Structure 1
Amino acid sequence: MRIGLLGTGPWAEGAHAPALSEHTELDFAGVWGRRPDAAKELAGRFGTRAYDDVDALFADVDAVAVALPPGVQSELAVRAARAGCHLLLDKPLAPTVEQGRAVVDAVREAGVASVVFFTTRFQAVTEAWITEQAAVEGWFTARAEWLGAVFTTDSPFGASPWRREKGALWDVGPHALSVLLPVLGDVRRVAAAAHGPADTVHLVLEHTGGASSTLTLSLTAPPAAAGAAVELRGEAGAALLPRSPEGAVPALIRAADALLAAARTGRPHPCDAAFALRVTEILATAEGLLSEERP
C-alpha cells in the first residue's frame, strides 16, 4: 500500500514518519505540509518525496496518514476519502460534531477504510487488557485520570494553538474515552462537567452498561503528578490499566496494520471514523456543559 503523510510537526516527525518508514507492508510515498520547507526537510530525512500540491499526493497514493490539527485534519480527510484514499487519522477526529460527521459520511460514500489512532488501543499490553475487561460482566464504576504536563514543561506540543484553545478535554479526553467505552458501553448521559485548575476538567458519565465513570483530564498538571490511570470496580473486584512499555511508533505500526486489514477485508475496525465521531459527540456535549458552568 502506497501511503502519504500529511503534516510536518513534532508528532509527524517523531511518530508518523518513523512508523510509516519502518512498516514492511507500506510504501512511504510522500509528505505534504502547510510549510513546504518543512515538508522537504522531513521527506529528505526519510528518503521520500515532498509534495507541494496535496491533491497530487492523493492521486499518487492508496492511503494517507494525518498528523495535523483536528480542524485541518477533518477538512483534508474528506478530500482524501473522496479521492479514494484510505485514512489513518489521529484523535480527536474533528473539533466539532458537524466536521466529524462530514468525515464519516465521506468515508462511507467513498467506500474507503478508516482507522483513528487512539494510542492506548494500539499498544499490545493495554489493548489486551481492554479486550479482557470488556468480556467481564458486572462493572459498577470506573475512574480515569489523564494528567499531562504539556503546558507546565517544555513539551513541543505546548505551543499548539488548537491545544491552547481546546485544552485537555479534547486532547487527552479521547484517550480516556477510548478505554472506557469498549468496557462499560456507550455514554448514555454526561451527568456532570466541572472546571478544575487551569485547563483541568472533571466529568461524570453514565454508561449504557449500567456503570458510571469519572474522568479527570488536564494538560497543566505539575510534572511530578503527570500520568494516566484507569481503575475499574465491580462484581469481579478491581482492575487497573497496566502501564505499556511501548512508545507511539510501535503502536502506530499496529494502527497501520489495522488499516491494511480493514482495506483488504472491508470490515470496519473498532477504532474507525464512526467510533471517533461518537467520541467527538461526547466531548462536544461535555464542552457545552462546561460553558454553562463557567460564566
Structure 2
Amino acid sequence: MNATQEQITELKSALKAKHLSAYHKRIQAVYLRSQKLTYKAISDLIGLSHDTIWRLVKKYEQEGLSALTHDARGGRHRSYLTYEEEKAFLEEQFVGSASGQFVTIAEMHEAYQTKIGKSWVPKGVRPHVHSHYIREYRYCYGAVDAHTGESFFIIAGGCNTDWMNEFLRQLSQAYPNDYILLVMDNAVWHKSRTLEKPTNIGFEFIPPYTPEMNPIEQVWAEIRKRGFKNKAFKTLDDVINKLQEVIQRLHWSVLKPIVYRNWLFSDFDVK
C-alpha cells in the first residue's frame, strides 16, 4: 500500500475518534499497512487474517474511510459473554444435540440473546437502561503476568501520577524478589517526570494506536462484563464492592487465556 500523507493523517485521526471506536481494528489494520508492516506482522498484532487485511486495504483505497466505518449484514457478538459463559452456553447446545434434540439456528439465536441480556422493545422505540446522573469515579490499576495469568490490582481514587506511584510501590512490595517488566500504553501518568520507579520494575511502552499489544485492555473488558453489564448501582460504595468482588474472583486460569499471546514469547525460551 502506497498511502499518501493525507491518507495517513486521516487514518491517525480516525483511530483517535471515539465515535469510530467500533471500527478501530479495521482502521488500525489499514493504518499499520500504510506504515509498511507486513500482512503477517499485522495479523500477529491484531488477530485479523491475511485476506481480511487485504480486503480492508482495497476497500479503503477504492472507497475511502467510509468503507471501513459502516456495517454490512451479519456479525457476531461473542464479546458480550465471558469465557465461562460462552463455554457453558455451547456445552448446553451440544448436550441437547447429542441427546437427539434437533437444535435449529433460530433456537440457538433466541437462547443466545437471552444469555447476553438483550432487551425487547417495540420497533422504533429505543431501549432504556437505568443510570445515574451523578458522576463519581474510582479507578482500577492492574498488572497481569502474560505467561502465568497471575495478577495484581488496586482500586484508586484518581488516574494520575500520584496514584501511579502508589500502584508501583505496592506492586514492588508484593514481589520484592522479582524483576517486573511492565508493558504499558503512552498515558501521561505512565511517563511523568515525577514518576517514582522502584528498582525492581522496568517499563516498556507499546507503539501509538496499538491497544491490542497491551492485553490488559481485554482484562478491563472482562471485568466490565462480569460485574457491570446492564447494571446500575445505588451508591459508589456498591460499585467499589462489586469491582472488588469481581477482581478477587479473577483466577489465573481465567486470565491466562485472555492475556497470553504467542508472539509475545516467540523470541524467548519460555515454556
TM-score, normalised via structure 2 length = 0.29
Please identify which structure carries the higher helix content.
Answer: 2
- Higher RCO (Cα < 8 Å, 6 or more apart): 1
Q: Name which one, 1 or 2, has greater alpha-carbon Rg.
A: 2
